[in-house]
Amino acid sequence: MAVSGPRTTVGIVNTLAGRIVRLSLLTLWDIVLYLLGVLLTFLSIEGVPGATSGPGLPTDLGIVVLLLACLLWLTVFLRRRFPVVPLVAGALLTLVGMDYWLVLIGAFHALARLRGWPAIAAAAGAGVLVVFATVRDIVRDPQSTMTGSLFGVTGTPDTPGSGAVAAIVVLIVAAMSLGTTGGLALLVRSRRETATARTRVEAVDARNADLSSELARTSERDRLATEIHDALAHRLSVISLQSGALETATHTSDPALAHAARVLRGQAHASLEDLRGLLGDLRTGGPASSTGPTEAPATASMRALPRLVRSLREAGTAVDAVVLLDGTESAPAALDRSIYRIAQESLTNALKHAPGAPVSLYVEGAPGSDIRIRVSNPIGRPVDPVLQGSGAGSGIAGIRERVRLLSGASWIGVHEGCFVVDATLPWPIEAAQAWRGV
């Protein structure tokens, strides 16, 4: 985190600076475009009937028209989000006798952004307006048109062919304007669609990569499940069968040995059930959903805690158990399984490190509140070296990891002569609402 934090901050600053620069450039371009539009308005004011009393001398009507044109040219600032607005404003300017450049600006953004009939209608409307303005400029004095003002085209009776030259210039400018507008609009639209398609292809590639990774993980889980099953299922089955045979053989001659064999067979059978559940979770990639209220408790479930306590008592361990749970059928699968595993590992740890000592188990909780698991056993008794060396030292670490993954809290250690495992896990409020029928 100490390394990625500054890099993340620098990235955010660079992104923000880039956006500010881009927004500034766009705003500057909008201002330049508006000023050019105002200039073109002044050049084409003579085309409005009654707007001038002479070259460069606007009348009162001309001043009003100029102010209205300046206001209409403000629509260029809206062209990116609302391209139809400058198109309509340009149509008004064209119809009163002024230039058609605002029409072309609106048509360009409409073709680049709109789809279907709106784009076709905008292009057709712009084309009709440009043709109308072109015909109008051909039949009137070139000096009163924007084209004539820009290119210095004059048409006087004293100059033979000047009218034809003016008409040709007007036609060439109109054709080039329409062609350039349409071509640039199609180019921008094509680039935008290409970028969108590239983004979609990248998203599909990323999804395919995720699916490939998930397929590889699934195959690996299946392989591991098969290896675990082949390695352990046979041995546990043999232990169960041999324990059953030993129980039958000693049923009358040695009741104590028969009882031990029966307990051993039960534990082997329970281990097989646990193994099948774990292999199923390994193949599916996660714990199965919690069982319904009418189903039998799962092997690793809060509702299986009494069976766990009963199996320990049958094995000769004195277990003082208090289990106060409500709404266990609505518990999330991860929480349900973790509660059982924490209690199971804590009891196993007590049996291994304090054999023959009484064990205390306390579990209490309900949906919407914390659930607490507390297991304690006295210390100071001699430990069987075989039992002590049978583990890998990962039991306590596993408990802490389960608690951490569920955002709980735990305390594990010696307190007043007893080894205590005390864990608290949150029971989500959603489970409480479902349990109460909210």
358 in a domain, yes or no? yes
For residues 266 and 349, give the distance between their C-alpha atoms in angstroms, rounded to a whole number. 20
Give the per-residue pLDDT at 144. Answer: 60
Instruction: Looking at the structure, tell me whether residues 200 and 313 fall in a common domain.
Output: no
Cβ contact 360:387 at 8 Å: no
Q: Sorting pLDDT into bands at 50, 70 and 90, what band is 394?
A: low
Where does a domain end: 193, 208, 223? 208
Of all residues in the chain, the percent with pLDDT exceeding 70 is 78
288 in a domain, yes or no? no
Tokens found for residue 116: 């279907």
Q: What is the DSSP string of 242-291?
A: HHHHHHHHTTTT-HHHHHHHHHHHHHHHHHHHHHHHHHHHHHHTSPPPPP
339 in a domain, yes or no? yes
Instruction: Looking at the structure, tell me whether residues 193 and 313 fall in a common domain.
Output: no
pTM for this prediction: 0.49
What average pLDDT does the segment 179-204 reach? Answer: 89
Give the per-residue pLDDT at 231. Answer: 66
Q: Sorting pLDDT into bands at 50, 70 and 90, what band is 295?
A: very low
Q: What's the CATH number where 391 sits?
A: 3.30.565.10
Kind plus residue range of the DSSP H or E element containing 236: helix 234-249
Most confident of 64-73, 137-146, 149-158: 64-73
Instruction: Looking at the structure, tell me whether residues 192 and 324 fall in a common domain.
Output: no
Rounded to 5 degrees, what angle do the CA atoms 192, 74, 113 make?
15
Higher pLDDT, residue 53 or 399? 399
The identity of residue 374, as a single letter, is R
Tokens found for residue 365: 């909780």
Beta-bridged to residue 320, according to DSSP, are: 360
Give the per-residue pLDDT at 427. Answer: 87
Q: Which residues contact 217 (CB under 8 A, 6 or more apart)?
A: 285
What average pLDDT does the segment 314-323 reach? Answer: 86
Tokens found for residue 1: 């985190």
Higher pLDDT, residue 427 or 393? 427
Instruction: Looking at the structure, tell me whether residues 31 and 177 fall in a common domain.
Output: yes
Where does a domain end: 180, 208, 236? 208
* Sequence-distant contacts of 79-84: CB under 8 A, at least 24 apart: 79/105, 79/106, 79/109, 80/109, 80/113, 83/107, 83/108, 83/109, 83/110, 83/112, 83/113, 83/114, 83/122, 84/110, 84/118, 84/122
Instruction: Looking at the structure, tell me whether residues 204 and 316 fall in a common domain.
Output: no
Residue 5 has pLDDT above 60, yes or no: no
85 in a domain, yes or no? yes
Residue 251 has pLDDT above 90, yes or no: no
Higher pLDDT, residue 313 or 290? 313
Instruction: Looking at the structure, tell me whether residues 46 and 181 fall in a common domain.
Output: yes
* Structural domain for 344, as ranges: 309-438
Instruction: Looking at the structure, tell me whether residues 313 and 173 fall in a common domain.
Output: no
- CA atoms within 13 A of residue 112's CA, in its CB half-sphere: 20
Instruction: Looking at the structure, tell me whether residues 178 and 327 fall in a common domain.
Output: no
> Within its chain, how far is the Cα of 56 from the centroid?
62
Give the model confidence (pLDDT) of 265-282 as tens digits. 777 777 777 777 777 766
Distances 6 to 1, 12, 14, 168, 307 between C-alpha atoms, Å? 9, 10, 12, 64, 54
Distances 287 to 180, 290, 300, 325, 336 between C-alpha atoms, Å? 63, 9, 10, 21, 10
What average pLDDT does the segment 210-235 reach? Answer: 75
299 in a domain, yes or no? no
What average pLDDT does the segment 80-103 reach? Answer: 89
Higher pLDDT, residue 163 or 24? 24
> Within its chain, how far is the Cα of 386 from the centroid?
52
Of all residues in the chain, the percent with pLDDT exceeding 90 is 16
Instruction: Looking at the structure, tell me whether residues 321 and 194 fall in a common domain.
Output: no
Q: How many residues does the chain have?
A: 438
Residue 142's nearest CA partner among 270, 32, 221, 43 is 43
Phi-psi region of 65 (alpha: psi -120 to 50; beta: other; left: phi over 0): alpha
Residue 210 has pLDDT above 80, yes or no: yes
Cβ contact 160:101 at 8 Å: no
Instruction: Looking at the structure, tell me whether residues 67 and 176 fall in a common domain.
Output: yes
Rounded to 5 degrees, what angle do the CA atoms 186, 189, 195 make?
140
Instruction: Looking at the structure, tell me whether residues 85 and 202 fall in a common domain.
Output: yes
7 in a domain, yes or no? no
Instruction: Looking at the structure, tell me whether residues 200 and 317 fall in a common domain.
Output: no
Residue 229 has pLDDT above 70, yes or no: no
5 in a domain, yes or no? no
Give the per-residue pLDDT at 242. Answer: 75
Name the domain count of the chain.
Answer: 2
258 in a domain, yes or no? no
